[in-house]
Amino acid sequence: MATPIPSRRKMLQVDFFTPAHRLSTQVNVYGATLADQLNDPRVSWINLEMAYISRIEKPGEIIADYAISTLRKDQVSLAMVSGSTDGAVKKIAHASTFFPRLLHRVWVATGAVEITGHIELTGKLDLSTLLVAPAERFMQVIHAVATSAFFPATQYNAELILVNKDAIQVFCAEEKGKPVPQE
Amino acid sequence: MARILVIDDDLDLLEMTRMMLQRGGHEAILTGDGMDGIVKAQQLRPELAIVDVMMPGMNGYQVVRKLREDPATADMAVLILSARAQSVDREAALAARADAYMAKPVSPAELLQTVTDLLERRSQASLPANLMTSVFSLRGGVGTTTIAVNLALTLQQAGRQVCLVDLCQKSGHAAIQVRLQAKMTWADALLQINNLSPEALDQILLRHDSGLRVLASPFLPPARPPAGEAIARLLTMLKPAFGATVIDLGTLDDVGRTAILSSDFVLLVLTPEVASLQTTAATLRAIKALNVPDGHVLLVSNQVALRPGLSPAAIEKALGRKLFANLPYDEAQLEALGQGVPLMPGQFNSPLAANVRQLVQALAAARSARTPSPAP
């Protein structure tokens, strides 16, 4: 009897923000993660399934919807995952090491959006290492609140925001981190 | 039980929602398309629609706006269920005139609770102001007072200011069922009816913890039966003063006739047994002779004993009219009577309390069916 081929289809609900638009959509992460897709340097575009498009100044109003669409990754300011982050990023194994993993509170501005939340790091916080050195284009901010800089009453809560480092205009962080709570 | 329309293009989710709703005792109508949902809403007139936002072609906000524009569906309760889970999305849902918004994923318990809340809110919203309802039977022991008390408390809990009027002339038990001691009764009100001020009437009304006001009956029957004219004056004072008035009624004398003619609805209570049927048939003829419009008298079968009685179909066939409500036997009601603590609101989910809530919803539907639809 033939062994069934396991489905690689795994859909993730994501809100993408460009400087002008919000796209509520689903991404097929194919058994990998959203972060993997966004950080893959070989591909400039990310394919979306059923995109619902709003303008940034009226983010609750849907102006168009399309079954198939694609998005230039370098034009994405941030990708927001509100519900379960399963399939969004790789789970980090909290093995006991000499340097504990610490949560640092951060404030990030991308021009249109201000983000407050936490980043998780091992060892001492070094901004140039964090922002410049790693190959990953998108940085993970967890337990995040994003506020529209032009419409501050508009706020978004998200378990995870992947922020495009190329879109970051200002990055601030608390130097001293707090230990990551044990699960 | 309510008829609920679910509009969602995710077929798995549609099926899961159907199962959740059916488990809660509701009838689910499913569609994966916004336009088809609007057509189904117009044809089938569900009490509630659960609408997804992100659907191809016509999104959920557009569906809700269409439903609100059409007089046939404008009053329907609408719950938006969306994976767009931000506060701006909640605002957009409410701006489209949805009644409530929930972010996906939702648990079955949360969904059912919201559905129950919305249906109750809708029923109280669609009940007319100053509704006066008589709960009536000429035969004792059929549970008239129990239904009147629980109906009054259900309406009170739904946000109405309610007055329960016990017009029984032989030691009515409405006050006892809500554990109130009747220091003053309607007999005191009738003594001064020609000069009765609203303040004086307020002093006579008993006050229950729930906010319900009760006009108790005298413990001993009055020497002379009250005049219908005096009762009419009393009810005329009560009706505009309360969001709803519920009358517990057991006679068809001058008092009974006046109360029936003053009421928007008469719930004629019977038990599913032959003797009760015979009394009810005679009562229906007597009420008809009063020229009460046919749609004002609604039959309520109340199963007060554990032993099975006549089937609803047999009752309807014998009386030649539909039952408006069929209330089940509820052991909790016996305990409630023994303890002097009514089912509502403490035993909210007991069979009888749940059925009385449905009775309130049915009254709202009957009232809106009686109101002519606005011209298109």
Q: Which residues of B326-364 are buried (b: 16+ CB within 10 A; e: fewer)?
A: bbebbeebeebbeeeebbbeebeebbbbbbbbbbbbbbb
CA of B56: how far to CAs of A41, A62, A109, A131, B9, in Å?
Answer: 32, 11, 33, 39, 8
**Cα angle at B320 between B314 and B324, to 5 degrees?**
80
B192: confidence class by pLDDT, cuts 50, 70, 90: very high
Helix (H, G, I), strand (E, B) or coil at A108: strand
Place of tokens 């638009």: A21
B372: confidence class by pLDDT, cuts 50, 70, 90: very low
Which among B59, B88, B103 is the nearest to A52, CB-wise?
B59
Cβ contacts of residue A118 below 8 Å, gap of 6+?
Answer: A103, A104, A105, A106, A141, A142, A143, A144
Higher pLDDT, B5 or B342: B5
In the predicted structure, residue A150 carries a pLDDT above the cut 90: no
Give the residue from A49, A57, A65, A78 with the most B CB atoms within 10 Å of its CB, the best one to mutate. Answer: A65
Cβ contacts of residue A29 below 8 Å, gap of 6+?
Answer: A10, A11, A12, A36, A37, A87, A88
Q: What beta strand segments (E) does chain B contain? A: 3-7, 27-31, 48-52, 77-82, 100-103, 131-136, 162-166, 206-207, 213-215, 244-249, 265-270, 297-302, 323-327
Q: Residue B254 corresponds to which amino acid? A: D
Cβ contacts of residue A99 below 8 Å, gap of 6+?
Answer: A122, A123
Which two tokens mark B230?
């005096």
Q: What is the CA radius of gyration of chain A?
A: 17
Of B97, B107, B104, B27, the closest CA to residue B64 belongs to B97
Contact B353, B347 (CB under 8 A): yes
Helix (H, G, I), strand (E, B) or coil at B106: coil
In the predicted structure, residue A32 carries a pLDDT above the cut 90: no
CA–CA gap between residue A18 and residue B144 (Å, rounded): 65
Give the residue from A9, A11, A12, A13 with the most B CB atoms within 10 Å of its CB, the best one to mutate. Answer: A13
Higher pLDDT, B24 or A182: B24
| Phi, psi angles (nearest 5°) of residue A47 | -85, 140
A148 interfacial to chain B (CB closer than 8 Å)? no
Q: What is the CA radius of gyration of chain B?
A: 23
A83 interfacial to chain B (CB closer than 8 Å)? yes
For A49-95, what is each residue's pLDDT tens digit?
999 999 998 999 999 999 999 999 999 999 999 877 777 887 665 55
B96 to chain A: nearest residue by CA?
Answer: A61
| Predicted local distance difference test score (pLDDT) of residue B45 | 86
Residue B278 CB-half CA count within 13 A: 2
Helix (H, G, I), strand (E, B) or coil at A1: coil
pTM: 0.60
Place of tokens 């029984």: B168
Return the number of CB contacts < 8 Å for A and B.
47
Q: Chain B residues with CB inside 8 Å of A24's CB?
A: 54, 83-84
| Predicted local distance difference test score (pLDDT) of residue B309 | 86
Contact B209, B236 (CB under 8 A): no
A7: confidence class by pLDDT, cuts 50, 70, 90: low
| Predicted local distance difference test score (pLDDT) of residue B349 | 62
Q: Chain B residues with CB inside 8 Å of A59's CB?
A: 86, 88
In the predicted structure, residue B180 carries a pLDDT above the cut 70: yes
In the predicted structure, residue B238 carries a pLDDT above the cut 90: yes
In the predicted structure, residue B368 carries a pLDDT above the cut 70: no
A166 interfacial to chain B (CB closer than 8 Å)? no
A84 to chain B: nearest residue by CA?
Answer: B105
Helix (H, G, I), strand (E, B) or coil at B222: coil
B72: confidence class by pLDDT, cuts 50, 70, 90: confident
